[in-house]
Structure 1
Amino acid sequence: MRYLSSIFFLIPIFLLACSQSIKKNEPLFVESRKDNKDTVWAKYEVKTVDRLLSISIEKEPAISVYGGWKDWKKDATGFFRTEKVDDRWWIIDPDGYPYIHRAVVAFNPGKSEKQKEVFDKKYGSIAHWADTESKMLKDYGFNGTGAWTNVDAVRDMDQPLVYTIIVSPMGAYKKDHLKKFGGKYEEAGWQGYRFDLAMVFDKEFDKYVKEAIEPIAKYKDDKYLLGYFTDNELPWVFDALDRHLLKLGEKEQGHITAKKWLRERKGKDISVNEITDADRAAFTAFYFDTYMQKVTHALRQADPNHMYLGCRFNQDKNKQELTNPEIFKVAGKYMDIVSINHYRKWEPDQECLNKWGEWADKPFLITEWYTKAEDSGLPNNTGAGWLVHTQHDRGLFYQNFTIGLLQNKNCVGWHWFKYMDNDPDDLTTDPSNRDSNKGVVDRYFNPYTPLLDQMKEVNVQTYHLIKYFDKK
């Protein structure tokens, strides 16, 4: 009888285990819209750590002080670098351990009047905020910060997060360039660049490169610095040659340089109608190379120890940079890691990821991406991220996207955009970020725990997941 009782006691446990196993075998879907203009909610499948049936949830791996994986070791140089090991790209941390950078962008407290009031009550000082919030991020498996971070606050911590710095020479020059030419022309770029052109050929730009980059010398000995970005989402349009010749005045330096380049390529003057796509592709390489030469020369002079993380590519339409092999070939000559702000995809396109690695022969870092949820109470009208119902759904999106990144041997990390929701009442913020749910904390510093719980599952298993994928 006692034997039968034991059997009857075990049956529910067995059935529960079976039902859980069946559930994990079933596809999991999240309802989403690409943006608020899309009126139809559609179901998208997501991959999660617990649904990778061949992997058991392992205990968190031993990590270095920087967040590197103490599974194997390469040469320790005292600074972050990259190395390709067994056909997979890695960041190597200052102690020589393999490392994947998992960061949040804009690690900064909000600046609206209400946010300042909450900040003062909750933290009292920037140092206490940085210590408290960096511990929170580490508890959820993050090991770094992305662009537009309060670098001084991070550096003052006893155990800093691995941080990045962004400098914006072209962004600064754009303002003065538009003061000179703005209003005279009807067209303006989506980032405010005149005719969607970065004015790399202007001699005046060189002064801005020097002014923006020289000050970074003070960071050159900091082991917690991953590297530098220059500018953000510059317009590397495929028809840049046509625009230089047709849009710019004949006495402008960009027009003169483009005309000279085309004459030397063709051996004679030709009309714009005779320009081929091969000419356009070659000019994008020359055009982008000019920018790269100027900024990397200045970076290496000011700080020879740290990596150049690129200029945060973004556009993939009409043969722009993310689909232009010539741009990536140039990037590979100068960048240590290619930075990409990756929007408009539910999950990474492995074919694209492979092409980026092949074209540049360098690893890439996803430096902006996010999704936003209805339950945040925000209107979610602005921004490029997908829209889902809940914070839990945001977390599932995170798992699905990062698992796709980890499958690819060219990826060395990702930066979630961003740390904190903006206050919609603060009209000094960038309009593209103002009213949408992008943060891991809300506008009053309250963490989105259902989101962070799902993020942690991937973050703490990152190195085990890589081992799993590389054995398949």
Structure 2
Amino acid sequence: MKTSHPALRRLLPLLVPAALVLTPSAPFARPLPDDRASLPVNAASGAEARLQAQGWLTLRAAPDATEARLQLTPPAGGWKLDACAELAVPVRNLSPFPVRVVLHVDDHKSRAREPNPLRRGVRAELALPAGNQVHWLIVPLAGPADEAPPADRYRSLVVMPHEFVRRGVVEAARVRQVRLVLPDVAAGAAISVGPLEGRGTPAPLANWTPDKIFPLVDLYGQYRHRDWPEKITREADFTARRDAENQDLAAHARPADWDRFGGWAKGPQREATGFFRTEKIDGRWWLIDPEGRLFWSHGVVRVGTRVRVGGIYHGTPLPDREHYFELPPAGSPYAAFFGTEPESTRGYYVGRPNHAVYDHLEANLSRKFGAGWVNAYATEAQRRLASWGLNTIANSSDPAVYERRQTPYTAIVYSAPMGDAQFRLAGSKGNWGKLPDPFDPGWAKRMRDTLRADLKSALNDPWCLGFFVDNELNWSTSTYVAECTLASPATQHAKRAFLTSLQARYADIAALNTAWGTRHATWDGWLAATDIPDLKRAAVRSDLEAFTAQYLEAYFSGCRAAVKAESPHHLYLGCRFAQGANPLVMGIAVRHCDVISINRYATLVSDVALPDGLDRPILIGEFHFGALDRGPLAPALVPVPDQAARATAYAVYVESALRNPHVIGTHWFQYFDQPTTGRFDGENYQTGLVDICDTPYRETVGAVRQIASRLYELRNGASRPAAPAPAPSLAEP
């Protein structure tokens, strides 16, 4: 690991939700006693914890650890945090290199949030620089449950307006523990943890009547109760913004050292195959463009107005939330942007097919560009990408944009239908659906049929980098897939494949029962059962890991075969891991994927690498930062204080990727902001390079242009690490 990231100091004041450099205790700070003086045996894992002077605690990673954890709990009676706005933890880095630290704050509902804590505001993260300076990790706190607004007034919003409900998710009066995690440690990693503090006082909530609160958004979909620079206030503003941006785009040309694909025209010439491929050169992985030039993928996800995740979603849902909106009357030209969408894959609108929506974004594009807005916005998107220095239209983008073949793009196919049980493992769970069943005889055919039907234009297109298959599947532990298979019904094809493998291993059911400690009367009894045997038994764990490996081999080989059968020259870009995956999954994925794709929401990716002995190029499929100083109600999965901080965070993140020899690109999530009142699943984050009114965030765009102007200089000049980078986090802590 490098001893220092060259841009790290620019990032320190900007991290989640605030990393206060050399900041003393805030006003109204309250010390919080904990159990560090007599740590329980299980308080630290993967590390040694020792109490030092003045109540500071040293956490030193074990030599062979890939992750270190520390858990601190309050004394009897708990912490008195109900009058505090936030919980803060001071930390120092005792290592000679940067260390990533994540703070989790748990209340009585944390276990229910565990499948997806990053989306729920219960953690803070910091990349600690080398040195012994004090930095603060801070998590905002929520008020009591009865202080929250009535559920029937605020539906399907990941984050509600802070004017009417306290910041934070963790209930202040019911905090039961804090956890500090070093997710991807190197040898010698150590931090020091100071006394915890409850800080600040909650801001008073606006005591408004419903008729003053609602509607929440104006005719353009912007939040009504705040103002900010560049907020649209009248129809004429759209024309003025369009004209001003035309001048900006004319003044900023595409990087001069790029070829027509966005590759490095002034760099070395490699073999040209007519399609994108990968190559490792002098210890660094690269993409090679169709003309044989070095290519690093600097991209943005979802360039388009609609969300393509199996079904096509757009706008913001209306049922049970009509009071949120100021909507156009019947007969208005903007009434054309009412519509419907399929039932949601998650959240409030699951089980509600063809529910009504209104699409503020498309209505605003119509205001800006007129009757021909569909063509005009696609043209504008291509002009922006060139001017901003983005050379990839990334996942889930609009074919009407990428089929112009002016900018390279990626495509995605889902190996099993989203929101449907067909070809899915019934006993599994996941944020984006259940796991596929690669043993189903119709699974591979369905995937190939989808490629031919839905992605026909991308097949054998030189402008297409390659195909992702699936998104953020839940891989969990090395036995998880087998556990899900056991929990599935007897008709599940994967379960029958598991049965066949066990019958080959054990002479009869009695032999299995002896090894597993079970009491199945027959093999049919085993097949019908859905309980999970004792994972502490060596034979159980061995058999479950063996079947998980068998499943993974069938899944990844099947996905590769489908992609190569329909488009043999394209890259199989993997399954878009959420943050990372366990070594068993990674080891098998590497055998079949041309590229390992990882959606990595963090502050840096200097540390991203595959487990020891594995070598494939890594593509960052998603990342972003967001703030609350503009219209959206929710900042992002990785919040920062304001737009200036957002721009700096972008530059630091992408530069860290350019300096990582394993990483071949970063794809920002996403082109447009999510709706203020939430998309199909309630997400309402400031995700965009462009807002809901099609106005670019000039600070972030400036950072994108700055990185693009030095893209190949940075990549080619990136120094190699002195030692292998540590493995990625095996699972979301």
| TM bin (shorter chain) | 0.7 to 0.9
Q: Once the 2 structures are TM-superposed, how far is the Cα of residue 227 of structure 1 from its aligned partner?
A: 0.7
Matched, 1:402 2:654: yes
1:5 aligned partner: none
2:505 and 2:567 map into 1 onto residues whose CA distance is 36
Matched, 1:354 2:592: no
CA gap 1:200/1:443 in 2 versus in 1, 3 angstroms: same
- Of 207-216 and 84-93, deviating more is 207-216
1:95 and 1:380 map into 2 onto residues whose CA distance is 42
Output the amino acid matched with 1:134: Q
2:279 aligned partner: 83
Give TM-score, length-normalised by structure 2. 0.52
User: Residue deviations 1:324-381, cap 9 Å, x none?
Assistant: 22222222222111111112x322251xx2335x554210100011111111221217
Output the amino acid matched with 2:498: A
Matches within 5 A, 1:226-375: 226-238=465-477, 239-244=479-484, 246-265=486-505, 269=512, 270-271=515-516, 272-273=533-534, 274=537, 275=539, 277-315=541-579, 322-343=580-601, 345-348=602-605, 350=607, 353-356=608-611, 359-375=613-629
Whether the aligned pair in 1 keeps the contact of 2:276 and 2:570 (CA below 8 Å) is yes
CA gap 1:326/1:359 in 2 versus in 1, 3 angstroms: farther
CA gap 1:213/1:60 in 2 versus in 1, 3 angstroms: closer
Unaligned runs of 5+ in 1: 1-23, 48-58, 316-321
CA gap 1:253/1:414 in 2 versus in 1, 3 angstroms: same
Whether the aligned pair in 2 keeps the contact of 1:126 and 1:153 (CA below 8 Å) is no
2:303 aligned partner: 107
Whether the aligned pair in 1 keeps the contact of 2:411 and 2:458 (CA below 8 Å) is no
Whether the aligned pair in 1 keeps the contact of 2:415 and 2:469 (CA below 8 Å) is yes
2:680 aligned partner: 430
Whether the aligned pair in 2 keeps the contact of 1:313 and 1:340 (CA below 8 Å) is yes
2:431 and 2:8 map into 1 onto residues whose CA distance is 44
Unaligned runs of 5+ in 2: 1-6, 18-117, 131-253, 307-313, 316-358, 517-532, 722-733
Whether the aligned pair in 2 keeps the contact of 1:244 and 1:258 (CA below 8 Å) is no
Matches within 5 A, 1:164-203: 164-172=410-418, 174-176=420-422, 188-193=429-434, 197-203=435-441
Q: Once the 2 structures are TM-superposed, how far is the Cα of residue 85 of structure 1 from its aligned partner?
A: 0.9
2:39 aligned partner: none
CA gap 1:224/1:299 in 2 versus in 1, 3 angstroms: same
1:28 and 1:221 map into 2 onto residues whose CA distance is 41
SS at match of 2:666: strand
SS at match of 1:75: coil
- Of 305-314 and 329-338, deviating more is 329-338
Output the amino acid matched with 2:384: M
Q: Once the 2 structures are TM-superposed, how far is the Cα of residue 458 of structure 1 from its aligned partner?
A: 1.5
- Of 125-134 and 37-46, deviating more is 37-46
Output the amino acid matched with 1:400: V
Please report the RMSD computed on the Cα atoms of aligned residues, expressed in angstroms. 3.1
Q: Once the 2 structures are TM-superposed, how far is the Cα of residue 174 of structure 1 from its aligned partner?
A: 3.7
Q: Once the 2 structures are TM-superposed, how far is the Cα of residue 287 of structure 1 from its aligned partner?
A: 1.1
Residue 696 of structure 2 is aligned with which of 447, 453, 456?
447
User: Residue deviations 1:229-278, cap 9 Å, x none?
Assistant: 11111222322354245412234322221232244456753423334545
1:262 and 1:255 map into 2 onto residues whose CA distance is 11
Residue 29 of structure 1 is aligned with which of 12, 25, 31?
12
CA gap 1:245/1:117 in 2 versus in 1, 3 angstroms: closer
1:26 and 1:302 map into 2 onto residues whose CA distance is 47
Residue 152 of structure 1 is aligned with which of 392, 400, 419?
400
Matches within 5 A, 1:131-142: 131-142=379-390
Q: Once the 2 structures are TM-superposed, how far is the Cα of residue 64 of structure 1 from its aligned partner?
A: 0.9
Q: Once the 2 structures are TM-superposed, how far is the Cα of residue 154 of structure 1 from its aligned partner?
A: 2.1
CA gap 1:25/1:387 in 2 versus in 1, 3 angstroms: closer
Structure of greater relative contact order (alpha carbons < 8 Å, 6+ residues apart): 1
Q: Once the 2 structures are TM-superposed, how far is the Cα of residue 132 of structure 1 from its aligned partner?
A: 1.3
Give TM-score, length-normalised by structure 1. 0.79
> Taking every aligned residue pair, what percent have the same amino acid on both sides?
25
Whether the aligned pair in 2 keeps the contact of 1:339 and 1:364 (CA below 8 Å) is yes
User: Residue deviations 1:172-216, cap 9 Å, x none?
Assistant: 4844468x97xxx8x8433332xxx43222234234223222334
2:613 and 2:686 map into 1 onto residues whose CA distance is 34
1:455 and 1:46 map into 2 onto residues whose CA distance is 24
Bigger Rg, structure 1 or 2: 2
2:451 and 2:15 map into 1 onto residues whose CA distance is 41
2:519 aligned partner: none
Matches within 5 A, 1:190-229: 190-193=431-434, 197-215=435-453, 216-229=455-468
2:128 and 2:711 map into 1 onto residues whose CA distance is 21
Whether the aligned pair in 1 keeps the contact of 2:10 and 2:648 (CA below 8 Å) is no
Output the amino acid matched with 1:233: E
1:460 and 1:370 map into 2 onto residues whose CA distance is 20
1:67 aligned partner: 262
